[in-house]
Amino acid sequence: MREFVYVSDSKLRQFLPKPSRLSMPAAIRLNTPVGGVDLEQGPPDSERGRLRRLEKVDRHLNDRAEWFGDPAVRPGGWVWFEAPLRCVTLRGEYQHMVLFADPAPGEDEEYGRQTGCRLLMHGSARHLLGYAPVSVEGPQLMDIEGGSSIGWSFLTSVGHVVRTLSLGSGPAAVDAPVPSTELHGAGVRELMAALDTRHAQAGGAALMQGYARVTTVLPASDTAARLVVASPLTVEYA
């Protein structure tokens, strides 16, 4: 049995089957001695249909998605992942957004050697399935009057990143990929660093796997590993 943590129904709806020439009619016509009667077909079992669609999409992506650690992955592409992840939310205005973050540097040396990069995923908390994320104190997101130029830049860049990532997580949002041009690399790094410093508060990471659409990719620097930012379709225990 597979145990899912997160399934995005809006992303599932992006995958449509090819139209069939033998598609069933919307209604069935019965001819009787007193005239014709149109019988509407009953609605499909929504949960069963959802599972069937999930299985088909899973098979489709299994043949096409790239490993998230592949240097060739690009924004908008689909990737598959298997990594120890923490499921966290930020308190306050962005508590509707869920973040999946991999281990902080030095916390899991074997994982770091295997992947060569890091993974940060963002989605909507409404897509969680029976899983309670750990709420942590994130970085300050509001501008501070009279702050230094360094502090001002730090706060506004992180705030911009979180606001941009949350666009696909609001109640009326559709989970479309966030354009990478709208993300500040420095802000993403600072957000990841803030989550890393609170890894003890967030508890242990569980090994999870699934598929996600890439939002942006930040190249490695002298002080930080390559970072893949993505929005998940599915997250399940590996």
Q: Which two tokens stand for residue 163?
A: 């606001």
Average pLDDT over residues 213-234: 91
- Listed by start position, the domains of the chain span 52-237
Average pLDDT over residues 146-173: 53
Query: C-alpha dihedral over 134, 65, 108, 187, to 10 degrees?
Result: -60
* 224 pLDDT above the threshold of 80: yes
- Contact between 103 and 205 under an 8 Å Cβ cutoff? The reply is yes
* 186 pLDDT above the threshold of 70: yes
- Which of 46-55, 173-182, 219-228 is most confident? 219-228
Dihedral sign for Cα 122, 123, 124, 128, please: negative
Give residue 65's pLDDT band: very low, low, confident or very high (50, 70, 90): very high
Q: What's the predicted TM-score (pTM) here?
A: 0.75
When the pLDDT of each residue in the chain is averaged and rounded to a whole number, the result is: 75
Q: How far apart are CA 218 and CA 228, in angstroms?
A: 6
* Alpha-helical runs (H) found in the chain: 9-12, 46-64, 109-115, 149-166, 185-197, 199-202
